[in-house]
Structure 1
Amino acid sequence: MSFIIGLTGGIASGKTTVANIFHQHFAIDIVDADIVAREVVAPGTPGLKAIVDHFGEAILTEQHELNRAKLREKIFLNTDEKEWLNKLLHPMIRQQMHVELAQVTSPYALLVVPLLVENNLGSMANRILVVDVPEAVQLRRTMQRDNVDEHQARSILAAQASRDERLACADDVINNNLGNDQLLPQITELHPKYLALSKVNR
Structure 2
Amino acid sequence: MLLIGLTGSISTGKSTVSMILSKDHSLPIIDADKLARKVVEVGTPGYSSIVSHFSESTPGLLNQDGTLNRAVLADFSYHYLSGAWAVVLDVPLLFESSLDLICGAVLVVSVSSPEVQLGRLLARDDHLTREDAAKRVASQMSIQEKVERCDMVFGGTRGRGAAIPNDGSVEELREEVSIVVNGLKAGRDGWWKWMLWGLPSVAGAVGARVLAENWWRRECWLREKEGVKANL
Partner of 1:172: 162
Looking at structure 2, the residues matched to 97 and 190 of structure 1 have their Cα atoms a distance apart, in angstroms, of 27
Q: 1:29 to 1:93 in 2, by over 3 A?
A: farther
TM-score (norm 1): 0.68
Tell me if structure 1 keeps the 8 A contact 2:6–2:108: yes
Partner of 2:78: 103
Looking at structure 2, the residues matched to 5 and 93 of structure 1 have their Cα atoms a distance apart, in angstroms, of 24
- Confirm or deny that 1:195 pairs with 2:205: no
Map 1:16-55; keep pairs closer than 5 Å.
16-40=15-39, 45-46=40-41
Report deviation, 1:194.
2.0
Map 1:111-190; keep pairs closer than 5 Å.
111-133=89-111, 134-147=113-126, 148-170=128-150, 171-190=161-180
TM-score (norm 2): 0.60
- Which structure has more RCO (C-alpha within 8 Å, separation ≥ 6)? 1
Q: 1:176 to 1:139 in 2, by over 3 A?
A: same
* Structure 2: runs of 5+ lacking an equivalent: 43-61, 151-160, 197-232
Percent identical among aligned pairs is 29
The Cα RMSD (Å) is 2.5
Partner of 1:71: none
Runs of 4+, deviation exceeding 4 Å: 91-98
Partner of 2:206: none
* Structure 1: runs of 5+ lacking an equivalent: 48-87
Report deviation, 1:94.
9.5
How many residue pairs get aligned? The number is: 157
Tell me if structure 2 keeps the 8 A contact 1:9–1:166: yes
